[in-house]
Structure formats: C-alpha cells, structure tokens
Amino acid sequence: MRTPMPMTNSMFSGLIQALNEAEALARQGSERNPVGLLRSGDRIGSYALCEHVATGGFGTVWRAEHAESGQEVAIKVLHPYLVSSEDAVSRFEREIRVIARTRHPNIVELIDCGRLDDGRPYLVTEFLHGTDLDTYIEQNGALTPEETLHILEQLGAALAAAHAEKIIHRDVKASNVVLSERDGQMRVVLVDFGVAKLLDDSSPGLTMSNVLVGSLACLSPEQIRNRRVDGRTDVYALGSLTYHMLTGEPPFSHAGVTEIINLHLDRDPPVPSSMCAVPSAFDQVVLKAMRKLPEERFADPRAFTEAFRRAVSGTDASPDGPTMRRMRALGVFVEAAAADGSLANPDEALLDELDDILVRAECGLAAEGFHVARERSNALLFVRPLSDEERGDPAVRRQAVTAAQHLFHRLMRRPGNAGRLRIRVCIHEADVLASGEDMQSGPLLQLGEWLPAQWEEGVFGSPVVLASVPGGSGCAVSRAPSWPAGPGPRPGRCPRNGHQGHGNAIAGSARPRGEGVAYSDTLPAFAPGMERACLA
C-alpha cells in the first residue's frame, strides 16, 4: 500500500515562508542592534553586565555578576524591537516558566527573572563555563560510542525530568547542549527551552498552521506536519543528535532547507556504520529512534539510552525487532514532471493524471517482483531484492531493463494522455539495508548518488545495469535537449546543486521538447554517474 503524500503544497509553502521570515527577522535584529542597546556596565536588577556573549533571533545573552556577591550569571534579554510582539513576549515568558518548573542537574538552572523599565522580560540563569556540543564536534570530530553514551545518559536523564513535568523540549540539537564541568566531572547541560511545549498549559501555544517550531537538524515529522507532540518527539531529536555525535554530521546535513524537511518526513539517513567506523549494532538503535511514526520509536529517552548502552556493551544488537541485513537489489525510479511548472499548483485533472501514472507504474512493476520502497508526491522508487543466484545473472538485469522500457512506452501511450506530464524511468543496482521487509537505508535508496542530474524524458540506466545489456555500454548517441532550468524548485523539491549530469538514456521519448520546465521536480540534488548509452 502506498503511503500518503507528505504534505500539501500550501502547507509546505507556508513552512518555507515562515523559515525565511524568521531568518530575515533574526538578521534584521542583528544588523539593527547587535547587542540590544545594552552596554557593558549596565545594571539589570541586582546584576552588572560584564560581557556580551551571543545574539539570537529573539534576544541577547550577557555574562553578568551579582553586584554584591559577585556570583557569575548569564542574562538573556528580549530584543527591544520585539517588546511589542505578543508572540515573542509569550515565547520568552514560557521559557521562564519551563525552566522554573524543572530542577535537574542536567538542565540549566534559573536564578531570577524580571522586566526592564521598557517592559522587556529577562531571565537570569547560571553561567556555564565550557563549550556547546556542536562546537566541540566541529573542533574535535565525531565522538566514540563510549563518549556518546556518556552524554546520552545525562541528556536522557534531563529529558526524563522534563517529561515528568509535562515539558517537551522540541529543539534537542547539538548547539543546545553545553559540555561543562562540576566537581571535576563532565556535566552535560540542556539549555534553550524557548520553543518547549507545556502539555498541560491551556494558554495559546506557539504552534500555528504556518509556523515551523524547532530547528532543521532535529525536526520530527509531527513537528513539520503540525501534529500533536509528546515525549517521543524528543526521542526523534535525540536520535538525530546521536547520529550527529557518531558520524560528526547531523542527518541530511548537505541538503537545502526544502529538501531537509522532505527527508525528515519520509526518508531515513544513511546508517551510521556506513558513515563512520562504528559497529552495525548501532544502526538499528539510531534508526528506531528516528522512525517517522512516533509509535514505532522508543517509548522514552531512557529506553533509547538503555538500547544504546546495550549496543556499546555488545549485549544486545537487536532492540525490539529483527536484525538489519544487507542485500543486493534492483531499483526502478519512476517520476513525472510538468514542463510548465503546473505541479506547483495542480488542478484536479493534473492530479488525476499523475495518480494514474503512478498507479499504472506500481501495477506494472509488481508483476516483475518490484515493490514500492520510497514515495514522493510525483515519484515512486521500486525495489526488487536479488537472490544469491540472481546477483551474478545478467539476464535478470536485462529483464529489468526490458520491463522498464515496456513500462515507459505503456505510460506514454496510456489512454487519456493529455501530454501535460513528462516521464522518466531510471534503473540501478546496489545494496540496501533491510529490517524484516522494511527497506531502511543503503546506496540504492540514496537517490542523489545515482540519478541523472539533468532532467530528460526517457529510460535511463546506471553503468552496472547497462553492462548486462547488449550495446548498452559506451554506445554514445546524440543528446536530446535537456529541459532548461526555470526560476527555481516548486515547494517540496530541491534545486540541482550544480553537478553536471550525463544522462544514461536507454530509450528516449520521441515527444518534442523545447517548452522548458519551471523547476526540478525530483528528489535530492543529484550527482553524476550515468553514462549515456543506447540499445541495439
């Protein structure tokens, strides 16, 4: 059964607009007044400002000292131009309530709060000497599993304490984790509860239909879709953070904003063991924490931490499910695009035509042993695992190429084809990692590594597939004109990243081109890797 489309174009457009507006607001505030009109030596309550530490989209942070005791503290003050924003003030005050509500050694401690004469709220917390986890990883590289576990144990305890108070952090990322020291031991401290959710708070929340709450590095699917959040939302973020610690990079770190959102919605990152030198025992633990459906994740941060601890000790490499296995498989990617960009705002007739194409593709390839492994609103990736006997059999690849050709021509000659949609079919063979019947990750699912960068209508194959096709390796043909790039991608799709695609046409379309396409209507930015070839 095919999964639902990730989200509507209008929802996606609203999210991207909200992100752009938030970035512009932060940039405007920083340019207008980088330290919020405050100066070193100014007094806030009983505290004297000593040093400006940071500026964010909502406020500035200062190191300060108590005028009498000399106690060192951190003071966060709302930007002056936001004092008239009810939403900004509400968010700031919510952060104060959240920190005051949770007392835990691994959560930043609230000391005081109040308002300046101009009405701006401020909060006073302990001053943490150390570095944030994001900076630490950038300077020192990926952490070992043992180092990662040490941090997870303290973070899991902090989140468990927050969840017990009905608080969901919603932004557990590396820059919100501070590595400090207490009594000669490393102390991990969770900070910045500015977008935290109070589950028992009846006041208006921060989540609105067109506002994306959280950071791209750790966004759960339910945050993107503006669905109900709970403790498992933080489990997803904790899984993303663990991935960052083990591999040295956040999941999907090389993608653009729109692409990252789509990837969080319906695609797993490459397994950690394929990105760094860690045992495969960690793959399933991390990917389970990052499952798209909350009910498929660990129930809470402590359960995730315990599973990770077992992976470190080697006592349990398979938490709550079958082990991950690597297999060889064929992949067929079927995609439709509109030359005039009309899929950005499709009418009912165009949606019906798109659905007809994808349903016909699914039915046609099912007869050849392929099933849907990944889906986008305008494309499907079909996968067929290969047995040990089939792996070395060229006839299997030739059969797949023939099936792809026949599918393409059937789709082009389908009844009612109005010519509004163009179609490409791409074939590749590579490894996949599977848990049970579920394809989790692997090179075949990393479409950006093998799809042609230039969008052309036709049937395309990778060199490993074409090597089994008579005349399919190195037989150059004249290249049909590629669709010119337009003003940019439609919401939900990512523009090309500048790679030069070669295309690997097995069978091209005889349909005339030249109208141009307004966007790149495919999955992530694509690397080259398919040499154009022809069949006899």
Domain shared by 248 and 361, yes or no: no
Residue 368: predicted pLDDT: 93
- Would 2 be classed as within a structural domain? no
- Would 520 be classed as within a structural domain? no
- Would 513 be classed as within a structural domain? no
- Would 398 be classed as within a structural domain? yes
The CATH number of the domain holding residue 139 is: 1.10.510.10
Domain shared by 280 and 422, yes or no: no
Domain shared by 311 and 368, yes or no: no
Instruction: State the residue range of the domain holding 229.
Output: 129-321
Of 64, 96, 126, the domain-final residue: 126
Q: Are 257 and 16 in contact (CB under 8 A)?
A: yes
- Would 374 be classed as within a structural domain? yes
Of 126, 144, 174, the domain-final residue: 126
- Would 474 be classed as within a structural domain? yes
- Edge-to-edge, what's the strand order for the sheet holding 177-182? 131-132, 177-182, 185-190
What pLDDT digit, counting tens, does each position of 457-476 carry?
999 998 888 887 765 543 22
Residue 168: predicted pLDDT: 93
Question: Which residues of the chain, if any, have pLDDT below 50?
Answer: 1-19, 22-23, 25-36, 206-210, 317-322, 473-536
Q: Are 154 and 309 in contact (CB under 8 A)?
A: no
- Would 404 be classed as within a structural domain? yes
Beta bridge partners of 72: 65
Give 74's contacts (C-beta < 8 A, 6+ positions apart).
53, 61, 62, 63, 64, 124, 125, 126, 127, 128
Domain shared by 245 and 391, yes or no: no
Of 321, 340, 362, the domain-final residue: 321
Q: Which of 171, 192, 234, 521 is catalytic?
A: 171
Catalytic annotation present for 393: no
Domain shared by 122 and 243, yes or no: no
The CATH number of the domain holding residue 465 is: 3.30.70.1230
- Edge-to-edge, what's the strand order for the sheet holding 110-115? 43-44, 47-55, 59-66, 72-78, 121-126, 110-115
Domain shared by 113 and 152, yes or no: no
Q: Judge if pTM exceeds 0.75.
A: no
Q: List C-alpha distances in Å: 490 to 23, 418, 484, 523, 527.
A: 20, 22, 15, 12, 20
The number of helix segments (H) and strand segments (E) in the chain equals 14, 18
Residue 360: predicted pLDDT: 95
The CATH number of the domain holding residue 107 is: 3.30.200.20
Domain shared by 302 and 396, yes or no: no
Reported as half-sphere exposure (CB side, CA atoms, 13 A), residue 272 has a value of 32
Q: Are 34 and 46 in contact (CB under 8 A)?
A: no
> Residue 520 CB: number of other CB atoms within 10 A?
22
Place of tokens 């633990």: 285
Q: Are 284 and 316 in contact (CB under 8 A)?
A: no
Q: Are 240 and 216 in contact (CB under 8 A)?
A: no
Residue 195: predicted pLDDT: 83
Q: Are 250 and 174 in contact (CB under 8 A)?
A: yes
Give 25's contacts (C-beta < 8 A, 6+ positions apart).
57
Q: Are 247 and 239 in contact (CB under 8 A)?
A: no
Q: How many domains does the chain divide into?
A: 3
Domain shared by 80 and 114, yes or no: yes
Domain shared by 400 and 484, yes or no: yes
Domain shared by 294 and 330, yes or no: no
- Would 7 be classed as within a structural domain? no
Domain shared by 142 and 43, yes or no: no
